Amino acid sequence: MPQWLHDGLRHVWQPYTQHQTAPLPAPVVAARESRIQLASGRWLIDGVASWWTAVHGHAHPHLTAAVHAQLDRLPHVMFGSVAHEPASTLACRLAQLLPGDLDHVFFAESGSVSVEVAMKMAVQYHLNQGERRTRFLGFHHGYHGDTLATMSVCDPDRSMHAHFAGFLPAQLHAALPTDSASLTALERLLEAHHTSLAGIMVEPLVQGAGGFRMHGPEALQHLRRLCDRYGLLLIFDEIATGFGRTGSMFACEQAGVVPDILTLSKALTGGVMPLSCAVARTPIFEAFQSQRADHALMHGPTFMANPLACAAANASLDLFETEPRLEQARALEAWFTEDLRGVETMPGVVEVRVKGAVAVIEVEALASQAELMRIGMAQGVWLRPFGGCIYATPPLVLSRAEAGQVAGAMRSMAEACDPARRL
């Protein structure tokens, strides 16, 4: 064990970790391309792209060079009453890439905060027009973050936030409208409650940590029509799905739907720096324009639009222009589909799902997370199953052989979840 790990164990509080029973955290000392290196010198394929972020792989020279150059010029400056070139350039490029009139970019530091900003935008949008609408509708298996407001729109029964049920704002939750019955139920719910609702929050095409469920574009088209009917804002949380993860630059493109507000983070900087944003359509932005100071959006994170992070994000967008990331994501979908064929018939497996560079094996019950992670590491792959799902969200630059190695580790983990082996 490295001395720094030994010393840190007394002071570092790890996320989602019961320290009394959890194994020691893996000591990572370097990362290159699709792999992370342990203190022992061993390299592992990063099967989750460090929580969906490292779409170009780790330490891509174009990204690191951009950050180094920016570090010498302007590492940070407050963004209140200040502008700087990296943020202006990034906002313009995002506006050009995003569909429709998603033209107004509000920067923040993390995915959760960008969702909080989107929710504040929606509430104040209605308030600025004389309507008090303060509630939201989220969906079963939805996940939008771990801060207060974001927890409230996550699935209340299947998320990691059950401890805080009495502390969270009360929201509405429903099944995604994927068939006529769920669509009818949603219409009835909105008919009864739309006057109190500011908006609807959804992860398009792929739901993340709430269960890794997938749905077709028709559900998003239904939501757009319902929001238009009832005067609600449609908010797409593309923190996990943005930047090629589903096979297109943004998941909403596959549905032909333009939300009123869209949030981005994770792969925004290519996994180099924390950065997020909430992007609003022009009519939403215009509702905040007034001679009244209290009509302005009252939010301002200290490190919003950090120049280093914006430089990394601009460099990441360069790579999407010069390297075949979307084609690579679609290739991963084909490879995972092929390599996981037959897993759905294994004992204890509920379903296998693949969309773009997201592969999921849902099981009836996971073996211990520590055991499954040991299985993956023994096969040279870093995966972190949880919530009944063995999932992979690797860098988009994975080779064919590496994709097969990840799928093989997932298959071995699924075998370890056979109910007969756990008796």
pLDDT tens, N- to C-terminus, the chain (423 residues): 999 999 999 999 999 999 999 999 999 999 999 999 999 999 999 999 999 999 999 999 999 999 999 999 999 999 999 999 999 999 999 999 999 999 999 999 999 999 999 999 999 999 999 999 999 999 999 999 999 999 999 998 877 788 888 889 899 999 999 999 999 999 999 999 999 999 999 999 999 999 999 999 999 999 999 999 999 999 999 999 999 999 999 999 999 999 999 999 999 999 999 999 999 999 999 999 999 999 999 999 999 999 999 999 999 999 999 999 999 999 999 999 999 999 999 999 999 999 999 999 999 999 999 999 999 999 999 999 999 999 999 999 999 999 999 999 999 999 999 998 865
How far apart, in whole angstroms, are the C-alpha atoms of residue 356 and residue 205?
A: 10
| SS3 of 212-228 | CCECCHHHHHHHHHHHH
Reported pTM = 0.97
Could you count the other beta carbons within 10 Å of the beta carbon of residue 283?
Answer: 11
Coil, strand, or helix at residue 326?
helix
What are the extents of the domains in the chain?
Answer: 3-56+325-422, 62-322
**Per-residue CA distances from 371 to 23, 247, 384 (Å):** 10, 32, 10
Residue type, 93: R
CATH topology assigned to domain 62-322: Aspartate Aminotransferase; domain 2 (3.40.640)
Collapsing DSSP to helix, strand or coil, 84 comes out as coil
- The residues annotated with a catalytic role in the active site are 16, 143, 237, 266
Give the CATH architecture of domain 3-56+325-422. Alpha-Beta Complex (3.90)
